[in-house]
Structure 1
Amino acid sequence: MELKDIYTLVSKLDSFNIYDLLDQHSIIVIYCKMKYASLIIPEKTTIFIQPDLDKKFEQYLLWHELGHYLLHCSLPRNKPCYRYE
């Protein structure tokens, strides 16, 4: 993906509030004590995140995971896309 493609994606966003964007894409955030991870399965997309993170760092991680979803996994939902950190 080239930089112009990223600008195109960003220009199509309805909001810059990460929680609104996750909701628009039906991405669920679950807060639990574990290392950061995201798991994307055909039926739903879920991001698992630690509950005690600094708010700005939490938002950074959520933007990061949303970026992965938009760039790599927002395909027809016939194949799972898994990623662990």
Structure 2
Amino acid sequence: MPGIFLLTVQVKVRYSDFTTLTRQLRLEEPVTTEREIYRMACYLLARHRLVTGPLRLLGIGVSTLVAPVQRQLRLGI
């Protein structure tokens, strides 16, 4: 996803009894690739021990889109 920067990653799980839990993480540094989003979602699932039995639904969401930050480089003169 070049050019798109995301600050929030969210996971949602729904169990066989229709109990639904959602957890999200607001990042200090934006994620920019699908791989980073996947890694953060796996982290949330493990951190909160959300997969305790059969799941009816597993969802990953992102939000808080921010514009790319452009930084001026300094020449070491």
Do the structures match in fold with TM over 0.5?
Answer: no
**TM-score of the two chains, using structure 1 as the length reference:** 0.29
Larger radius of gyration: 2
Q: If each structure's strand is expressed as a fraction of its own residues, which one has the higher value? A: 2
Which structure is richer in relative contact order (CA contacts within 8 A, separation 6 or more)? 2
